[in-house]
Amino acid sequence: EKQDKDPLSVLHYYRQLIALRQNNQVFIEGDYTLYEAEHRHLYVYTRSLATDLVLVVGNHRSKPTRFTMPKALKDVPLKRVLTNVEHGPDDPVDVLKPFEVRVYQRR
């Protein structure tokens, strides 16, 4: 019940993640492209279907990790639509917090 009322809870995050997947066919049918395969701490991939594109970036480390946008996506207008951690206005956009996952969608 406590997690049900907390907008930053794991339960709330999973509900948002499930809703995002259910409302976007790109997650189900989109082509998968892996980026940064050699990076030990980041899992970075896109799913694309027609004009839809999502980018998922996950930091699997207990420390902040710097993320550089893949060259192929530098000119793609992306908007962060989901993350599992709270961000302040002064947080750097190129650093993922420990165990942070971000989902971006083409605008």
Q: Where are the domains of the chain?
A: 2-106
Number of H helices, E strands in the chain: 3, 7
pLDDT band at 4, cuts 50/70/90? Answer: confident
Higher pLDDT, 87 or 103: 103
How much is the pTM? 0.90
- Please give the pLDDT value at position 61: 97
Is residue 37 predicted with pLDDT exceeding 90?
A: yes
The CATH code of the domain at 2-106 is: 2.60.40.1180
Q: How far apart are CA 36 and CA 15, in angstroms?
A: 28
**Which SS3 state, helix, strand or coil, does residue 92 take?**
coil
**Which SS3 state, helix, strand or coil, does residue 95 take?**
strand
pLDDT band at 52, cuts 50/70/90? Answer: very high
